[in-house]
Amino acid sequence: MEQKEDKLKEVISHAKEYGFVFPSSEIYDGLAATYDYGQLGSELKNNIKSYWWKSMVQMHENIVGIDSAIFMHPTTWKASGHVDAFNDPLIDNKDSKKRYRADVLLEEHMEKIRLKIEKEVEKGVKRFGDDFDEHQFRATNPNVLRNAEKIKEIEDRMRTSLEANDLEGVYQLIMDCEIVCPVSGSRNWTEVRQFNLMFSTEIGSVSGDAATIYLRPETAQGIFVNFLNVQKSGRMKIPFGIAQIGKAFRNEIVARQFIFRMREFEQMEMQFFCRPGEEMKWYEYWKETRSNWHKALGLGDNQYRFHDHIKLAHYANAACDIEFNFPMGFKELEGIHSRTDFDLKQHEQFSGKKLQYFDPELNQNYVPFVVETSVGLDRMFLAVLSASHKNEVLEDGSERTVLSIPPALAPYKVAIMPLTKKDGLPEKAREIIDGLKFDFLCQYDEKDSIGKRYRRQDAIGTPFSVTVDHETLENNTVTIRDRDTMEQVRVNIADLHRLIDEKVNMKTLLV
Ligand code: ATP
């Protein structure tokens, strides 16, 4: 547990030191759960977006992309159910004035009991040594059994209360578990209330005209309200998809774990419109396709797992998450939801406009069913960054920190380094950059020893470093070093473009 927290801390400090992610408005001590992407972070983020957009939009004949406004007509959120049902149960501690998610307090309480069980098992291992039968121990030890029973009881009561929207029941459970505020240590709690996660603001300069509008909590609704615009103007035939990348906002009660849970974040969503009755086929198709998209990055197939939802959202008839093994453990990276015809039907009802498709093959009108894929761009960023961050001990005993970012996503593709700052080497290096810069983001670096420069490029994940030396001036050859193998070979300048392209082209991920 502690090791994992250390890993996250290391990633956060590396991200700041090298210009990937900064705390937002840091000179004012930052703003909770808000971060800014720095010069390298923006490049990595753009490359992730591009990988998604190329794969989802440009390589699918029947998927198109849009960019809808963050502000939407307020009725949109009534129709979607967000005004009435996009809530988290919150509770305040009267002494510390700290606010918590009631369900998270209970989850953490159960986690503590789980840890007690693990401690008991550890004690058993110590006591019995090689003779220890863990399975038998877990099934029979009275302390383990009592604690497992406790967890089950809390889980059952929590689920029943939340499903019935019985907030008093949730409060009673917190009292019965004798949960204390981690800050004040007291049990002086307020009642549990539902808290709507949407940020609201006012539109219109004259107060009388003012109307409450919301910052969108998901990008999906911008797609639904444009369903007919896109279908008609693009002459789209079902099944087809509409994709978009954009900001979403949620007033998360407990926002933490770096960029994993923020109040302002970015989503990459695609809504796939299909015939009613065919949604499960497409749901399975998208589960597999999206899983393959993630695995193509080479971060390790065992780093991903599916988690099927047992309690489905009001709009879904099937849903699962693709979870990633973040430094904090397996957590949701992407959601895949079969949303039925819920959203389009709701918008038909609230707008009074028909949102139907005439299917020429069936010769009938219907409201299409929808399968959604929704991945958090910031969570993708954290997945790539944390899985790539490695401290390595080299053969000669020295150490290096390397970001083995998939080359197609790396911010800089190649660093060009003149061995010295004189004798025409800088000019030659710049000439090489001029030949490469149209296709690859290059960095020119002439400061410090070559060894130090290599370490710096390793730390920012640059797949190639090219050294220009005196021999270059004689025969147009350079040394190219591979970030991962650290091998150096002498090649012709004329071959550089091909060698780099072979490794960093997005095609390597897409085929
Ligand atoms: P969680 O259970 O973690 O709160 P969710 O189930 O509410 O997530 P969805 O509504 O399915 O999330 O949103 C789709 C995707 O958007 C998620 O898979 C996640 O990658 C991303 N996402 C959601 N909330 C946040 C957030 N607060 N910060 C960053 N990314 C987020």
Inter-residue contact 472 to 424 (CB < 8 Å): no
pLDDT at residue 199 greater than cutoff 80 = yes
The answer to whether 291 and 333 have CB atoms below 8 angstroms apart is: no
1-68+218-390 shares its CATH topology with 394-510 = no
- Asked, as a colleague might, if the bond just before 426 is cis with ω within 30 of 0, I would say no
| Residue identifier of the C-alpha nearest atom 11 of ligand 1 | 335
Cα of 333 to ligand 1 centre, how many Å? 8
pLDDT digits (tens, 9 = 90+) for 384-396: 999 999 999 988 8
Work out the mean pLDDT of the chain and round it to a whole number. Answer: 94
Relative orientation angle of helices 167-176 and 142-163, to the nearest 10 degrees: 160
The pLDDT value given to residue 18: 98
**pLDDT, tens digit (0-9, with 9 covering 90-100), for 445-460:** 999 999 999 999 999 9
Alpha-carbon span 274 to 272, nearest angstrom: 6
Residue 261 CA: which ligand 1 atom is closest?
A: 28
CATH code of the domain occupying 1-68+218-390? 3.30.930.10
Q: What span, in angstroms and rounded, lies between the C-alpha atoms of 357 and 359?
A: 6
- The yes-or-no verdict on residue 203 having pLDDT over 50 is yes
pLDDT in tens, 472-504: 999 999 999 999 999 999 999 999 999 999 999
* Residue 376 Cα to ligand 1 middle (Å): 6
Number of alpha carbons in the 13 Å side-chain half-sphere of residue 291: 18
Please name the residue that has the structure tokens 């290059």. 442
Q: Which of 187, 220, 262, 234 is nearest to 63 (CA)?
A: 234
Closest CA to 386 of 436, 325, 440: 325
Domain boundaries, the chain: 1-68+218-390, 87-196, 394-510
The CATH code of the domain at 394-510 is: 3.40.50.800
Q: Is the pLDDT of residue 351 over 50?
A: yes
Q: What angle do CA 287, 291, 296 make, to 5 degrees?
A: 150
Atom number in ligand 1 closest to CA 374: 14
Q: By the 8 A CB rule, do 468 and 412 touch? A: no
Distance between Cα 7 and ligand 1 center (Å):
22
pLDDT band at 316; cut points 50, 70, 90: confident
Q: Are 11 and 386 in contact (CB under 8 A)?
A: yes
CATH second-level architecture of 87-196?
Answer: 2-Layer Sandwich (3.30)
User: What was the pLDDT predicted at 391?
Assistant: 96
Considering the entire predicted model, what is its pTM?
0.89
1: pLDDT confidence band, cut at 50, 70 and 90? very low
Residue type, 472: T
Tell whether the torsion through CA atoms of 121, 124, 128 and 132 is positive or negative.
negative
146-152: average pLDDT:
94
* Mean pLDDT calculated for residue range 111-116: 92
- pLDDT mean over 188-212: 84
Which residue has the CA at smallest separation from atom 20 of ligand 1? Answer: 376
| Per-residue confidence (pLDDT) for residue 208, from 0 to 100 | 60
Give the largest CA-CA distance in the chain: 82
Please report the pLDDT score of residue 315 as a whole number: 78
